[in-house]
């Protein structure tokens, strides 16, 4: 893993050598793609456009947020900002890295939550836009535009997370693949007919199960807060 981590740090160093305007772009992307935006921005907009799509965004965002936390506890995953010093790589070779206000994230980093949760929750919105485009145009380019935009967005989010030293490239790739798979798998299993109380109860159940799993892992001697 050290070889993979070292390659990821070098890739981040190359990304950080870009022009100042590109730096502002990466910072903006990583801030706007924060998972909480799924609940505060994407869900209300999707719900306003189509109730079923909105509920799917909320449901998949809820499940993917929980699953990302659980996966991080089992996969652990270093953070580049901390690893480059703890591994001794910074003292072995001259690597010029910059720190940003969003660099010092703590906790396990695998898979990337930004990529996984965004990729999963936006899947129903993208498929709905693709279906809408197919109804109004026979052009393959028009039909593929939503998915192309989706792919470019996830690529930008992933690169931004590497840029700010929050994740290694392989953690970003894992997050994107997990998010797309989760969105595809859960879209047709969204409990659309359920009331708001069901979603509140589900959120509470997921929260309590996370706390229980956390306590169980700590009790068995696994320090997931390392």
Say which of 5, 114, 170, 214 is annotated catalytic: 114
**DSSP character string of 105-168:** --S--SS-HHHHHHHHHTHHHHHHHHHHHHHH---HHHHHHHHHHHHHHHHHHHHHHHHTTSS-
Q: List CB contacts of 44: < 8 A, sequence separation 6 or more.
A: 54
CA distance 166 to 186: 27
Respond yes or no: is residue 5 known to be catalytic: no
CA distance 121 to 205: 20
Buried b vs exposed e over 106-115: b needs ≥16 C-beta within 10 Å? eebbbbbbbb
CA distance 155 to 29: 11
Minimal CA–CA distance to 31: which of 101, 130, 132? 101
Per the CB < 8 A criterion, the answer to whether 86 and 218 are in contact is: no
34, exposed or middle or buried, with CB in 10 Å at 0-12, 13-18, 19+?
middle
Work out the number of other CB atoms within 10 angstroms of the CB of residue 185: 13
Respond yes or no: is residue 167 known to be catalytic: yes
Say which of 136, 167, 170, 214 is annotated catalytic: 167
Q: Tokens representing 183?
A: 């969105």
Q: Which residues are catalytic?
A: 114, 167
């Amino acid at each position: 893993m050290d070889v993979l981590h070292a390659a990821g740090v070098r890739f981040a160093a190359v990304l950080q050598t870009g022009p100042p305007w590109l730096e502002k772009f990466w910072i903006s992307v990583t801030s706007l793609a924060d998972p909480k935006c799924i609940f505060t921005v994407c869900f209300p907009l999707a719900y306003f456009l189509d109730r079923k799509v909105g509920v799917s965004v909320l449901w998949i965002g809820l499940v993917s947020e929980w699953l990302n936390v659980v996966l991080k506890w089992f996969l652990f995953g270093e953070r580049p900002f901390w690893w480059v010093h703890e591994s001794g790589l910074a003292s072995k070779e001259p690597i010029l890295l910059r720190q940003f206000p969003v660099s010092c994230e703590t906790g396990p980093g695998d898979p990337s939550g930004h990529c996984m949760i965004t990729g999963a929750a936006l899947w129903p919105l993208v498929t709905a836009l693709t279906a809408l485009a197919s109804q109004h145009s026979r052009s393959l380019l028009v039909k593929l535009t939503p998915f192309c935009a989706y792919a470019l967005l996830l690529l930008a989010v992933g690169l931004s997370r590497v840029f700010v030293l929050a994740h290694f490239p392989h953690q970003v790739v894992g997050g994107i693949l997990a998010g797309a798979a989760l969105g595809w798998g859960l879209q047709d299993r969204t409990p659309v007919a359920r009331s708001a109380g069901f979603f509140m109860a589900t959120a509470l159940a997921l929260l309590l199960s996370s706390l229980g799993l956390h306590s169980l892992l700590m009790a068995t001697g696994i320090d997931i807060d390392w």
